[in-house]
């Protein structure tokens, strides 16, 4: 046996150190070949795009680390179609998608406050869109009909004629057809014949979505999301919506009332405006030095639930002078005060099980 072989055999620790050194040199060589990236080159500092690029680099430099693997799993299992496309580069993508479907089917409340699906229903227009269109590769048969390829292309053409980009045209068309199909299949809208008639004509529905978006100061996709949650807004006269927004604006001049209505359109469009005003005035009396308009803009539900006990408890703990000016000192004050009011009132936010 050569002398160096005998030495190596007698010294396994030396072998381990040499092997580790070779691995370190290999890692350093890969890092040396990597061209540094400037975060400013990514559109609007898009972190998802940065993660996707790092994941691709991981594949090019000899495998995925823990971080890249988790980014891939998150994107493929739960990401938007656009984000999934940026990450899908592996033969095991179907495993990630199956994991996402499994998690989405569990009966627990979502982190963003959405309730879990029940009885095969959908908790949002995006859930419904994903079920109907999948990843854009197939058009699945629905309960009492289907979305044809020609129908999808026709609605896309409608949005392109309105000046939309190809990506936005597809995005809007899929959600228009998702909303129409959900009403047709009886998942939303009940037996309202007006809603059924309007949503049966996807071009009339598209035009109405534009009108709702203009009135509620939001994008068309947001208007479609709003209509999915509250289909009655499609047949509510535009003048009635404008009148309610004007009344709320007079009541809360410093608040984004369109945002407040979008958070819970059914309540803020149907409830007696005097009842809403009474609750707003009560909050103003309780916290005279606080910008209550910003408080309810952050948590509009404070105008819909009984918070008298919580307000009284907080007033016992702190004086109005102690609350005054807190908005200026703490940028998160509205969020913290809203959470405190709910907590001591026994009406915690949905994402916390309230």
Q: Examine the domain organization and report whether 257 and 231 are in the same domain.
A: no
Q: Examine the domain organization and report whether 224 and 264 are in the same domain.
A: no
Nearest to 290 by CA among 345, 247, 231, 338: 338
Query: Which residues constitute the domain of residue 322?
Result: 253-352
Q: Examine the domain organization and report whether 213 and 270 are in the same domain.
A: no
Domain boundary pick from 104, 139, 161 = 104
In tens, the pLDDT along 29-85 reads 555 555 666 666 665 556 666 666 665 665 544 455 666 677 666 776 666 555 556
In tens, the pLDDT along 90-112 reads 556 677 667 666 766 665 544 44
For the chain, what is the domain count? Answer: 3
Domain presence at residue 120: no
Nearest to 265 by CA among 284, 248, 279, 282: 248
3-class state of residue 142 by DSSP: strand
Domain presence at residue 111: no
Domain presence at residue 245: no
In tens, the pLDDT along 272-318 reads 999 999 999 999 888 887 888 989 998 999 999 888 877 888 877 77
Please state the φ and ψ torsions of residue 58, each to the nearest 5 degrees: -60, -40
Domain presence at residue 248: no
In whole angstroms, give the CA distance from residue 181 to residue 186: 9
Domain presence at residue 110: no
Confidence of residue 118 (pLDDT cuts 50, 70, 90): very low
In whole angstroms, give the CA distance from residue 281 to residue 285: 6
CA 137 to chain centroid: 23
Q: Examine the domain organization and report whether 130 and 54 are in the same domain.
A: no
In whole angstroms, give the CA distance from residue 349 to residue 184: 33
Question: Is 110 within 8 Å of 123 (Cβ atoms)?
Answer: yes
Q: Examine the domain organization and report whether 87 and 181 are in the same domain.
A: no
**Model pTM?**
0.64
């Amino acid at each position: 046996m050569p002398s160096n072989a005998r030495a190596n055999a007698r010294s396994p620790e030396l072998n381990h150190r040499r092997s580790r050194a070779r691995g370190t040199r290999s890692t350093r060589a890969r890092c040396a070949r990597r061209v540094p990236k400037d975060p400013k080159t990514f559109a609007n500092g898009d972190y998802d795009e940065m993660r996707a690029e790092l994941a691709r680099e991981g594949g090019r430099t000899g495998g995925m680390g823990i971080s890249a693997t988790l980014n891939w799993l998150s994107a493929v299992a739960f990401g938007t179609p656009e984000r999934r496309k940026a990450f899908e580069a592996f033969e095991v993508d179907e495993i990630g998608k199956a994991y996402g479907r499994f998690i989405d089917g569990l009966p627990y409340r979502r982190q963003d406050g959405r309730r879990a699906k029940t009885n095969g229903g959908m908790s949002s227009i995006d859930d419904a869109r994903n079920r109907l269109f999948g990843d854009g590769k197939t058009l699945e048969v629905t309960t009492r009909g289907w979305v044809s390829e020609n129908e999808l292309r026709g609605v896309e053409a409608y949005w392109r004629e309105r000046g939309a980009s190809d990506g936005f045209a597809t995005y809007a068309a899929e959600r228009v057809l998702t909303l129409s199909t959900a009403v047709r299949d009886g998942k939303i809208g009940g037996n309202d014949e007006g809603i059924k008639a309007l949503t049966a004509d996807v071009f009339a529905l598209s035009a109405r979505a534009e009108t709702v978006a203009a009135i509620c100061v939001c994008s068309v996709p947001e208007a479609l999301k709003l209509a999915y949650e509250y289909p009655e807004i499609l047949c509510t006269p535009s003048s009635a919506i404008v009148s309610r927004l004007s009344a709320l604006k007079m009541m809360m001049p410093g608040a984004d009332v369109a945002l407040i209505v979008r958070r819970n359109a059914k309540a803020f469009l149907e409830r007696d405006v005097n009842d809403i005003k009474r609750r707003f005035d009560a909050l103003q009396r309780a916290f005279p030095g606080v910008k209550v308009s910003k408080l309810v803009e952050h948590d509009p539900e404070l105008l819909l639930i009984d918070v008298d006990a919580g307000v009284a408890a907080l007033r016992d703990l702190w004086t109005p002078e102690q609350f005054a000016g807190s908005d200026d000192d703490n940028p998160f004050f509205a969020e913290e005060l809203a959470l405190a009011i709910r907590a001591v009132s026994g009406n915690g936010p949905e994402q916390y099980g309230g």
